[in-house]
């Protein structure tokens, strides 16, 4: 099984390369000239895109093919008071440069819209804002001219006192989405509300591919080992939505998230790095049935954690692990 590792948004290695520089609405409202304020927002966004491209070049230099973009590339993009602003014409070249680099280097990129983007909500205004946020994320991927195999990962959302009803609302609201939003979604189990089994059930109802977070599964489960669910999770990656616009000869591999508990008393927060032992236990248990899997590292040290993990994996080369390059391995079952 080929395993590629990636990380989230920020680098702890590359200096002064934040892709998430922003401006608050309060600061924007203090500006006397709205047009000048919009130009300032566009300058900040272009700087974020420039830094994103810098990070992608850093990734390519270290064989990192899996990366999650910051959702804050465009400050105030979905704010209710900014509905008359279309930032994309001013950012066209920056987005295109990112997309060209991603395609040239065969990378897999994604977004993870914020926790307030919830399709299980019973409140119409929250649903409207959630769909707007998903639309904004899709527009960014379209501006990069990337195929629908580049996804937006979300959670089911809150239970609102009745988990079965919340799950049913998610399914109902999902079916109301436009096709171009649906085909770019993946669904992840969370650490407090919807377990991996419950998330898998919703994936089966919707045809969405499931991203298994093995840390979340450890702290919020129904008594199963994570690999016991894997055969069913693997099948969610065979649906038309999962494989939308992927190459038939190179189907989109399943993706998982990995992180480690910060401490014994704070098991849900993420540690700086990744504990190699439980990760390897999971990978070895799924290797026999899985040709390829991509692993998103959600550790506090970002790419630094990835590099440390690769060093740790180097200690297992006599135990069925082959180091392929700076960010990928082969696991022999």
Q: What is the CATH number of the domain that holds 272?
A: 3.20.20.150
Q: At which residue do the structure tokens 């680098």 appear?
A: 11
Q: What pLDDT does 30 receive?
A: 81
pLDDT in tens, 178-197: 999 999 999 999 999 999 99
- Collapsing DSSP to helix, strand or coil, 139 comes out as helix
Q: What pLDDT does 250 receive?
A: 94
Tokens of 3: 């395993």
Q: What pLDDT does 31 receive?
A: 82
Q: How many domains does the chain have?
A: 1
Q: What pLDDT does 29 receive?
A: 82
Residues ≥6 apart with Cβ < 8 Å to 146:
99, 102, 103, 109
User: Could you give the CA distance from residue 149 to residue 328 in angstroms, rounded to a whole number?
Assistant: 20
CA 254 to chain CA centroid, Å, is 12
Q: What pLDDT does 267 receive?
A: 94
Q: What pLDDT does 139 receive?
A: 99
Which residue positions in the chain have pLDDT lower than 70?
none
- pTM beyond 0.85: the answer is yes
Going by the DSSP 8-state scheme, the letter that residue 261 receives in this structure is B
Q: What pLDDT does 73 receive?
A: 98
C-alpha separations of 287 from 39, 280, 331, 333 in Å:
50, 10, 6, 5
pLDDT in tens, 212-235: 999 999 999 999 999 999 999 999
Range of the structural domain that residue 279 is part of: 2-331
């Amino acid at each position: 099984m080929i395993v590629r590792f990636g990380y989230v948004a920020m680098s702890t290695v590359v200096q002064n390369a934040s892709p998430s520089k922003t401006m608050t609405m309060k600061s924007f409202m203090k500006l006397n000239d709205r047009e000048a304020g919009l130009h300032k927002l566009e300058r900040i966004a272009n700087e974020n895109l420039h830094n994103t491209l810098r990070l992608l070049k850093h990734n390519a230099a270290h064989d990192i093919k899996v990366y999650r973009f910051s959702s804050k590339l465009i400050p105030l993009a979905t704010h209710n008071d900014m509905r008359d602003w279309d930032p994309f014409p001013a950012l066209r070249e920056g987005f295109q440069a990112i997309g060209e680099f991603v395609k040239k280097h065969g990378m897999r990129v994604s977004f993870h819209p914020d926790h307030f983007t919830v399709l299980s909500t019973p409140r119409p205004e929250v649903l409207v804002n959630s769909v707007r946020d998903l639309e904004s994320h899709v527009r960014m991927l379209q501006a990069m001219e990337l195929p629908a195999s580049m996804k937006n990962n979300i959670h089911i959302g809150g239970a609102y006192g009745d988990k079965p009803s919340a799950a049913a609302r998610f399914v109902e609201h999902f079916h109301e989405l436009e096709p171009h939003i649906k085909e770019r979604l993946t669904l992840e189990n969370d650490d407090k509300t919807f377990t991996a089994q419950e998330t898998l059930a919703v994936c089966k109802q919707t045809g969405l591919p499931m991203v298994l977070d093995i840390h979340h599964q450890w702290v919020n489960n129904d008594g199963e080992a994570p690999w016991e669910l894997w055969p069913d999770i693997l099948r969610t990656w065979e649906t038309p939505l999962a494989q939308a616009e992927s190459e038939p000869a190179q189907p989109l591999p399943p993706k998982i998230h990995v992180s480690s508990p910060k401490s014994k008393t704070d098991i849900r927060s993420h540690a700086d790095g990744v504990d190699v032992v439980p990760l390897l236990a999971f990978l070895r248990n799924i290797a026999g049935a899985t040709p390829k899997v991509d692993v998103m590292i959600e550790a506090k040290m970002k790419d630094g954690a990835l590099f440390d993990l690769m060093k740790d994996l180097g200690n297992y080369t006599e135990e069925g692990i082959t180091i392929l390059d700076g960010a990928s391995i082969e696991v022999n079952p």
